Structure 1
């Protein structure tokens, strides 16, 4: 499981309130007076002559801890500046994105011109120790936190690569996270990834989107995997690129008053659109994914999202520091709950590489498969299938097709019942359930259920078979 890159994932109202909490507190409040009375007694009489700031810091932390809300946080002025830099994709560290796999820290990405890149750290490397902290199981979270720190400070890593294990000493520096990436996939499908919702990031995203449109793309993949959120205003601005008008979220405050977050002068996106999400798609990214689903603008593919459905606002304190306080919960336009639930995708795909493959399948309307019984080759839209989980396999002289890939390719649905060991496949209007391990029509290979071709053609009239030369078979979506 990946972790959000820095601090808490959030939707944050960037326009900081100028009204302090002190000014909002009633003049006569017994609980407030009780706290002040204890503070005065400690500072006047305790034998250790406690420092007032340490007492107040501890009191603040204690109050926040009692809320059981990880997104309500107290920042010193220095910490708040770092937080604002984070929202803009700037932080001080070694320049890597990491994932936790089997209780270890695995490098997922290495940023350009970063200390990690200069030290030769590569994606796939395993970080075994961070400044002497063993980065395994319980020590993983602390080790990850220590990857970041003040600019100019030193850090020592023990890294296991493909061929060796070595110790490297790095100096932390300011790192600019590449928040927008773009390319054109096969079939003139545009691809845009966004790792943070900030005003600058969304502005860059829109510019890149315009360039892709000018290149005559036929569909678009928006990758929000590992997007840990950002500001509410940027989420609204992003949504306006795809939704002409209407609500994108419902905000509810302490008194259950509801406020609609609406797009009023956006544009009506017409091209096929897929949004990729995973367990670290959080906060503002979840809001956007849910809005595009509810407006039926996008097919969402991936795994259920993080489940952070609250909004924070910053309150500068009169005597220094800033309180980031949860002030609202948000819901999707159709009033779906996001907090502690997340957004469940239209098509569940667990493997990251397969998620992008599924997106490409969904965006191509004329998906055709050619099966060659002579050499066992499988071609999808004229491209040789060389994926780790092939679309089709041969077993005892018969073809078997991967159920979940059929669902991607021909706009179907597949569902698994782990406890009952059953798999359900829907193609067109037909839906059937197959027991795993008991049905001769079903094979399981590398965790993927394959359905015998004869069964597919007999039970699902949405798929059409055409005989071609040399015994090859053409499979395509039926035009009926």
Structure 2
């Protein structure tokens, strides 16, 4: 072979080797710690975007080779927590995180992803695999050493006791608030929750019943319990909070409230999409957008059974950073049809996730598929912008909700024009 031909052949072969090398060389170092190494392996095997793995492997290498605090078989739990959080953050993707059984998110995600973790579900939640925890029906955000109530599930114990979004949680039965530990083994009993409603004001003691809560049924009950009417200028304005689409009965609860429940006579509807989790069918918005007429099935006894529902009256939707995943598709579909959105930009979290059980029984949620609307519309990292921007500050809100008030006012204006 002439030298120049050989050189061209060798150069082309070298380019092929270089091009293939990154995929072959992506071999992250092992730490010897089973939880860390299993999380790394799952990302390498399952994560949806291979182009981000090189950066991920470099993040793993830094954690394992850190001279000050290397991750190894003897690393304390706190070090492993921080290291896994760091390497997952390097992926810059939604639906990607680790959740421990000391938080409410763990139980809610375990119920949402129960099929994905079916091999472990009975062991994690004996004896029958029914996901449940003792709680009072609220979620809270932690920052600067303080806990503030972010979500009060409609119809739950905290809502019935008068706890409000924005309340600072000072203690539960005299001890610092812990999402799960504060209520462990207390189902059927009451606890004293001390809250502060305004900065610098006296603490308020609240007696709250502790219940055994099953996440998805709790969401369905909250959706159903949120439905109500409010009179403005002679018009009946309905409101319902769609906490999640992940529960099989979520949209059924909405449809029942509209067709047969408290919202049946509403002149217009405020649909609250400021949820906890997305999930669900991508065509859920068809209840408000579909062209198929409503119909019922009527049996021999004359009893009618809902077969489908279509809402034809005005709608205004509420969105914020809790509007994620399937709820973002919902919000996007509404906006595309000219339905006003009120609030702040949605989460920009539209990938398909799955869950895996790590050796310490924590859950790894991992983005396993990209998600595209239409031909090329991606909401991941972008979200959906509101038509009417209304900020909301959580701490010490005392139950005030300027976003909801703005949505009701927008509906009032719409009805006044019609």
Q: TM-score, normalising length from structure 2? A: 0.54
The yes-or-no answer on 1:242 pairing with 2:288 is yes
Give the drift of 1:160.
2.5
Contact 1:315–1:323 (8 Å) recurs in 2: yes
Contact 1:97/1:107 (8 A) holds in 2 = yes
Cα separation, partners in 2 of 1:345 and 1:237, compared to 1, 3 Å: same
Q: 1:151 aligns with which of 184, 187, 196?
A: 184
Rg larger in 1 or in 2? 1
1:219 corresponds to which residue?
Answer: 268
1:147 deviation in Å?
Answer: 3.0
Match for residue 109 of structure 2?
83
Tell me how far apart the structure 1 counterparts of residues 416 and 172 of structure 2 sit (CA, whole Å).
Answer: 52
More helix per residue: 1 or 2?
2
1:419-438 matches, within 5 Å, as: none
CA contact (8 A) 1:82 1:91 kept: no
Q: How does 1:80-229 map to 2 (within 5 A)?
A: 83-85=109-111, 92-98=134-140, 105=148, 109=152, 112=155, 114=157, 116=158, 122-123=163-164, 126-127=167-168, 129-130=170-171, 146-149=178-181, 151-152=184-185, 157-161=193-197, 164-166=202-204, 173-175=211-213, 176-177=218-219, 178-180=222-224, 181-186=226-231, 187-197=235-245, 198-211=247-260, 215-224=264-273, 226-229=274-277
Contact 2:257 2:263 in 1 (8 A): no
d(CA) in 1 for partners of 2:172, 2:240:
36
SS at 1:293's partner residue?
helix
Aligned partner (choices 310, 313, 316) of residue 271 of structure 1: 313
CA distance in 2, matches of 1:166, 1:286: 37
Contact kept? 2:275, 2:324, Cα under 8 Å: yes
Alpha-carbon displacement from aligned partner over 1:232-291 (angstroms, at most 9, x marks no partner): xx242522323338xxxxxxxxxxxxxxxxxxx998754322212234322222220011
Q: Gapped runs of 5+ residues in structure 1?
A: 1-27, 43-48, 135-142, 246-264, 368-480
Q: Higher relative CO (CA 8 A, sep ≥ 6), structure 1 or 2? A: 2
Q: How does 1:361-380 map to 2 (within 5 A)?
A: 361-366=412-417
Deviation at 1:364, TM superposition (A): 0.7
The structural deviation recorded for 1:31 is 5.0
Q: Give the 3-state SS of the residue equivalent to 1:179 in structure 2.
A: helix
1:90 to 1:316, Cα distance in 2 relative to 1, 3 A:
closer
Deviations 1:119-139 (A, max 9, x none): x553267325347999xxxxx
1:307 paired to 2:348: yes
Conservation of the 8 A alpha-carbon contact between 1:110 and 1:121: no
Give the number of the structure whose residues are more often strand, by fraction.
1
1:307-366: CA deviation from partner (whole Å, max 9, x where unpaired)? 222221235679977642112343444854422332112223442353233232243153
Flag the 1:107–1:133 CA change in 2: closer, same or farther, 3 A. farther
8 Å CA contact retained: 2:229, 2:262: no
Q: Distance in 2 between matches of 1:96 and 1:335?
A: 37
The Cα shift of 1:222 comes to 1.4
The alignment partner of 1:241 has SS state of: helix
Partners of 2:99 and 2:142 in 1: how far apart?
Answer: 27
Q: Write the deviation string for residues 404-429 of structure 1: whole angstroms up to 9, x where unpaired.
A: xxxxxxxxxxxxxxxxxxxxxxxxxx
Alignment partner, residue 298 of structure 1: 339
| Distance change >3 Å, CA 182–CA 269, structure 1 → 2 | closer
SS of residue in 1 equivalent to 2:259: helix
1:182–1:208 CA contact under 8 A, matched in 2 = yes
Describe how 1:340-419 pairs up with structure 2 within 5 A: 340-350=381-391, 351-366=402-417
Give the CA deviation at 1:32: 4.7
Give the aligned length.
Answer: 300
CA distance in 2, matches of 1:98, 1:276: 20
Q: TM-score when scaled to structure 1? A: 0.48
The 8 Å contact of residues 243 and 276 in structure 2, kept in 1 or not, is answered as yes
User: Which 5+ residue runs of structure 2 have no aligned equivalent?
Assistant: 1-22, 38-63, 65-71, 115-130, 292-306, 392-401
